[in-house]
Structure 1
Amino acid sequence: MQLWQERLKQQKNSGMTIAAWCEQNQITQSQFYYWQKKLTVSSHEPDSVIVPLSMPSFPMALVIETPCGYRISVNDASAMALMPQLIRCLP
């Protein structure tokens, strides 16, 4: 992971397009984008997730919107247990 963090930083600082940088460094673009996404997701993982001890009665919905445009709506109390894993996956 540390190697790819450094590679992503080198590409950004190079001023080159991703395609040109990958070609120069003999790295496929698919590898580059895979690690870019993987490291972006892992860098946004929260240290902890707060889960309320008591949930409001449904059909009230819990809605989470992210700056990236994702919208998550939970309408079922049993789905609440999956929220920590789902939040970790968001960019």
Structure 2
Amino acid sequence: MSSADRERFWQQQIGDWQASGLSGIAYCKQHSLTYHRFVYWRKKLTDSGHYPNETSTVTGFARVAPVSGVAATDGLTVSLPGGVSITGLHAGNIELLGAVLRQL
């Protein structure tokens, strides 16, 4: 397989993975791909401008940032993708967050 063929193959795989909604590891297992090669090509193709909307690697961690205009006494606010926010969480009702997230 030529290097151009390899690049086309991985462009297709990365595009299919993005559309799949799966984690990288799950996609690789499902398609019998070697995960470290997948990560290499994802980074290579992202850095070369093939996937300009791909700005960060999915790590399994959530980004945490302070929300302006919210007082510290208002409790914890969790913002989910799609604009959903859960506000007013505190030590007395934090179990509620776990129950809500398990339902998503």
| TM band (smaller chain) | 0.3 to 0.5
TM-score normalised by structure 1 residue count? 0.45
TM-score normalised by structure 2 residue count? 0.40
